[in-house]
Amino acid sequence: MSEILLLIEVKDGLPDKKTLELMQGGIDLAGDLGAEVSAVAAGDETSRLAESAACYGMKRVYRLEHPLLKGFAPDIWVGALEWLCRKISPKIVLMSHSFIGKETAPRLSFRLNADLTTDCIGLKPDPKDGLLIRIKPIYGGNAVSVLKCTGLPQMATVRKNAFQPVEKVESKSDIILMTPDLDESMIKVKSLKTIQEPIVEMDKANVVIAGGRGIAEKEDFTMLEALAGAMRKTHGNVMIGCSRPVVDKCWMSSDHQIGLTGSMIAPDTYIAVGISGAVQHLVGMIRSKKIIAINTDPGCNMFKVADYGVVEDYKDLIPALVKRLEELS
């Protein structure tokens, strides 16, 4: 029976949310195609991850285990996945459009002679030929393309939220231990050290207050902080985010960036301050329940997607707003 293979990614020792979504995507496709879903857990010690991945109704989970697979090193991971794909010849290979997927999938696709579509928001089989129909936003989100590729395997990386996360089931997947044929000579890029930086998880916020290029000085972010402080008592977890120019100026680290190449989030409230509303920014926050825009330009695109707008200089408005919120509380 033909096989759909997907790559498991891990968070705190368990499959992460993107992987659970990918599993559901794989299971849906398998139903349509009469195929089986397999997942692969790669690493130097995969038993716990595989046990946990085995609870989600897939046919099997491969433990692709090797000492060299400790941590994520692209060269060796690509080599290991190539080894597995040559062994099992999957019809479809899926990964998350994550840090790991973005780097691994294109290189793997070349080695497997397959055409890959990245960052898909939907996948379905073409009933005529069983090939994958790939739905992918292009031009930053200004258009949505529907693509097909010939040849096997069919390969795609999938954007967060494309599918509902899979639910646990009673039955267990078969777990198969595989030892890929790997050696040090495959590692052409050597990791010297990693620099841990404190990372914010923007998707944990109830409210995000984001500043853009309209914020004149780095110090002005303290105004956004003051607003966050005033809202925290009543609105839960309030975090500060930004658009890309703020990261480019090194005023904030890139984990604060919202958008196509940053985080894609859906908080209860998003307050955009001095952000024009470029499509690459909008795709990261358009699913927010309520959007408030503060901008001096009444014609800017951010107002077109906002629920509430104030045409005003943030330097004047925000201090007055903070004062009022504090009076009200």
Ligand X SMILES: Cc1cc2nc3c(=O)[nH]c(=O)nc-3n(C[C@H](O)[C@H](O)[C@H](O)COP(=O)(O)OP(=O)(O)OC[C@H]3O[C@@H](n4cnc5c(N)ncnc54)[C@H](O)[C@@H]3O)c2cc1C
One symbol per residue from 154 to 193: x for binding ligand X (CB under 6 A), - otherwise; what is it? ----------------------------------------
Is residue 297 within the footprint of other proteins (CB under 8 A)? no
CB of 312 to other proteins, least distance (A): 6
Partner from other proteins, ligand X, none binding residue 59, C-beta < 5-8 Å depending on class: none
Beta bridge partners of 156: 94, 117
Of 84, 93, 94, residue with least CA distance to 179: 84
Residue labelled with tokens 């604060």: 256
Identify which range of 40-48, 52-60, 162-170, 280-288 contacts other proteins by CB under 8 A. Answer: 280-288
Candidates 214, 241, 267, 309; binder of ligand X (CB under 6 A) is 214
- Looking at residue 239, the DSSP 8-state letter turns out to be E
Is residue 185 within the footprint of other proteins (CB under 8 A)? no
Handedness of CA 104, 106, 110, 114 (dihedral sign): positive
- Measured from the Cβ of residue 75, the count of other Cβ atoms closer than 10 Å reads 16
Reduced to 3 states (helix: H, G, I; strand: E, B; else coil), residue 15 is strand
Residue labelled with tokens 């927010």: 288
| Helix pair 99-111, 74-88: axis angle to 10 deg | 50
Is residue 125 within the footprint of ligand X (CB under 6 A)? no
- Looking at residue 257, the DSSP 8-state letter turns out to be B
Residue 127, preceding peptide bond in cis (omega within 30° of 0):
no
Rounded-to-integer distance, Cα 60 and Cα 122, Å: 23
Q: Site residues for ligand X, window 9-38 (CB under 6 A)? A: none
**CA–CA–CA angle 270, 273, 274 (5° rounding):** 140
Identify which range of 6-14, 73-81, 233-241, 288-296 contacts ligand X by CB under 6 A. Answer: 288-296
Identify which range of 59-67, 88-96, 98-106, 169-177 contacts other proteins by CB under 8 A. Answer: 98-106
| Helix pair 221-235, 314-328: axis angle to 10 deg | 30
Phi, psi values for residue 21, rounded to 5°: -65, -40
Phi, psi values for residue 111, rounded to 5°: -70, -25
Position 282, amino acid: L
One symbol per residue from 132 to 161: x for binding ligand X (CB under 6 A), - otherwise; what is it? --------x---------------------
Candidates 43, 79, 274, 309; binder of ligand X (CB under 6 A) is 274
Q: Based on CB atoms, which residue is closest to other proteins, 141 or 180?
A: 141
Phi, psi values for residue 135, rounded to 5°: -105, 120
Partner from ligand X, other proteins, none binding residue 203, C-beta < 5-8 Å depending on class: none
Partner from other proteins, ligand X, none binding residue 274, C-beta < 5-8 Å depending on class: ligand X
Q: How many residues bind to ligand X according to rule CB under 6 A?
A: 28
Reduced to 3 states (helix: H, G, I; strand: E, B; else coil), residue 243 is coil
Q: Site residues for other proteins, window 7-66 (CB under 8 A)? A: none
Residues in the chain: 329
Candidates 103, 122, 225, 264; binder of other proteins (CB under 8 A) is 103
Partner from ligand X, other proteins, none binding residue 270, C-beta < 5-8 Å depending on class: none
Beta bridge partners of 176: 62
Q: Based on CB atoms, which residue is closest to other proteins, 27 or 278?
A: 278
Identify which range of 9-17, 155-163, 178-186, 210-218 contacts ligand X by CB under 6 A. Answer: 210-218
Rounded-to-integer distance, Cα 97 and Cα 158, Å: 5
Identify which range of 29-37, 40-48, 170-178, 193-201 contacts other proteins by CB under 8 A. Answer: 193-201
CB of 285 to ligand X, least distance (A): 9
Residues of the shown chain interacting with ligand X in the complex, contacts defined by CB under 6 A:
140, 212-214, 243-245, 257-262, 274-276, 278, 280-281, 284, 294-297, 300, 313-315
